[in-house]
Amino acid sequence: MDKNKLNDLMLAIATTLSLFLITFSVYLSAFYPDGVFLQILYFFLAIAIPVGFLVTYIIFRKRYPRALLHGIGSACTIFLLLAIGVPLSLIVNKYYMPAYIILLCLLTACTLQSAFTSKRVRNVFTVIILCLVFSGSLSLAGGIVYHEWQDKISIVNIENINVHNYLAFDRNADIARLPKEASLRLSGSNLPVINGAAAMFPMYSSFVEATYPAYAVGGLNHRNSPYRYTNTVAGYEELVYGETDIMIGVSPSAAQIAFAEEQGKQIEVIEIGREAFVFFVNSKNSIKSLSQAQLREIYAGKVTNWREVGGDNLNVQPFQRNPGSGSQTALESFMGDIPLMTPPTELVHGLMIGIIERVSDYKNYRGAIGFSFLYYASALVGNPDIHILSVEGVAPSAQTIADGSYPITRPVVLAVTHRTPEINAFIDWVLSPEGQYLVKNSGYTPIRNAELS
């Protein structure tokens, strides 16, 4: 082989290798949270490409002036597409990333092919282009199919609910109501600011409608309104910072209690009801009941296949929630001294815009198991594709919670960091038959008499 043909072949191989390495590093950096692949990508972008074109210029400056011009243009195209397109495609849908990167390489390969007059080099690029078209088509088709499948996967425990269905003072709201006017009617400028967890929002909406004046509430989360909704994590933060006066949800986590103490506050917890802490699986899962020991082994990572607990030969996917959320705190309490396994988390590295973290929140994969509170999972979400498990052979229900036969229950609490006459009056009323009536009719188990005279 003469020197010119050898140079042609080397240039084609070097270009192909560069395209492959760029594609590979971008792809891995998008799908893996380690950070090492992102560093590989930056290495090739910041060092390999400029050095490669510099070497190409030194070696082939006389033979391929057109190729160098096209190559520099291709390099600029790569930088532009990576800097703008990749982050956007990551945000929109990461499952199309492979097709996007292959398209990037296809455009670059077409640009480089047009720069050469050598038939051998053009043939090499033709093969590369055909391979890219074939792999890109497969990747795009795979991304579409996988995305459609993902859309059919039910997210059965999300942090937020459609609050518009449960608003106080809305005639069409699906909240519990007293048969007659409440014995307590708060008024004045010192109305306690109330907040709560997602699962308890319908319940405390009914409290607000029964005892707060409509003119003072205004609307949910409106400026100066005493009626707010965030979630468990933000709810306890706002309570500690004094932005709210009452938090309704589940008991605070150890970290939330410690945070309050760091701020010089003490969280006082008053139990106002009880609720079942439940575990659920895909409706196609043959498992219908587990023991507490089996559940702890699953979440400790000791049981990894459903056949180990009498189910099908299917990997267990035990999903968890974000730290500080009410259900995650309940899970930690349920586990006791047994350490939790590392939760399965989807992490996507967004180029140029930092890290985009996506937590797969109880998606209804066939082998998945998730957890929640009974009313939240069965009524607020009510997904037919999940099955709530019995524990020790006992199914969770209002009756089994009340008689104590369902073994995993958690208190529904009203938390405060200070007391005022209005707060005291509200607490007393929630624990009265009227308040307990609303607790019961909101889907929770009251702890005191809920019968109205």
Fold for the domain defined by 154-453: D-Maltodextrin-Binding Protein; domain 2 (3.40.190)
Query: What's the pLDDT score for residue 358?
Result: 30
List, for residues 398-428, the tens digit of each pLDDT value.
899 988 899 999 899 999 999 999 999 999 9
Q: Rounded to 5 degrees, what angle do the CA atoms 47, 48, 50 make? A: 70
Helix (H, G, I), strand (E, B) or coil at 262: helix
Query: What's the pLDDT score for residue 343?
Result: 63
Helix (H, G, I), strand (E, B) or coil at 243: coil
Query: What's the pLDDT score for residue 345?
Result: 47
List, for residues 303-361, the tens digit of each pLDDT value.
989 999 998 888 888 877 777 777 788 888 899 989 888 765 442 222 222 221 232 33
Query: What's the pLDDT score for residue 354?
Result: 26
Write the CB contacts of 163 (distance below 8 Å, at least 6 apart in sequence). Answer: 201, 220, 229
Query: What's the pLDDT score for residue 119?
Result: 74
Q: What share of the chain is helix, strand, coil (3-state, %, to 5)?
A: 50, 15, 35
Instruction: Tell me the residue type at 259.
Output: F
Residues 327/321, Cβ–Cβ less than 8 Å: yes
- List C-alpha distances in Å: 128 to 107, 118, 131, 419: 11, 16, 5, 73
Residues 284/369, Cβ–Cβ less than 8 Å: no
Q: For the chain, which ranges sit under pLDDT 70?
A: 1-118, 132, 135-161, 343-365, 379-384
Residues 414/247, Cβ–Cβ less than 8 Å: yes
Residue with tokens 């849908």: 93
In the chain, what are the domain boundaries?
Answer: 3-152, 154-453
- List C-alpha distances in Å: 401 to 146, 252, 407: 40, 21, 8
User: Which pTM was predicted?
Assistant: 0.60
